[in-house]
Amino acid sequence: MTVDYDFLIKWLLILEFITVLVFAILIFRSVRKRREYRRLQREPLPFLPPCAFWHVWKGREIEGTIDRGEWTLFVRVLVPDVAFLSHIQDTHPELNRVWFCAEFRNWSIVRESFGLFDKVCIEVLSHDADSMPPEDIAQHARIYLKVKWDLKDGDHVCVGSSFKDESFDIGNGEPVAPQAYTKDIQIL
For the segment 132-182, what is each residue's pLDDT rounded down to a tens digit?
Answer: 899 999 999 999 998 888 889 999 989 888 899 999 888 888 888 888 999
**SS3 assignment, position 99:** strand
Give the number of domains in the chain: 2
* One domain for residues 79 and 141: yes
Rounded to an integer, the average pLDDT of 18-34 is 79
* One domain for residues 143 and 108: yes
| pLDDT at residue 45 is higher than 70 | no
* One domain for residues 165 and 147: yes
Query: Please, what is the end-to-end C-alpha distance for the chain in angstroms?
Result: 83
Integer CA distances (angstroms), 18 to 6, 14, 28, 34, 166, in order: 18, 6, 15, 24, 61
| pLDDT at residue 100 is higher than 90 | yes
* One domain for residues 57 and 108: yes
Overall size of the chain counted in residues:
188
Number of H helices, E strands in the chain: 4, 8
* One domain for residues 68 and 127: yes
Q: Containing domain of residue 12, as a range?
A: 1-43
Q: Give backbone dihedrals phi and psi of 80, rounded to 5 degrees, phi first.
A: -55, -45
Predicted pLDDT of residue 138: 94
* One domain for residues 63 and 101: yes
| pLDDT at residue 40 is higher than 70 | no
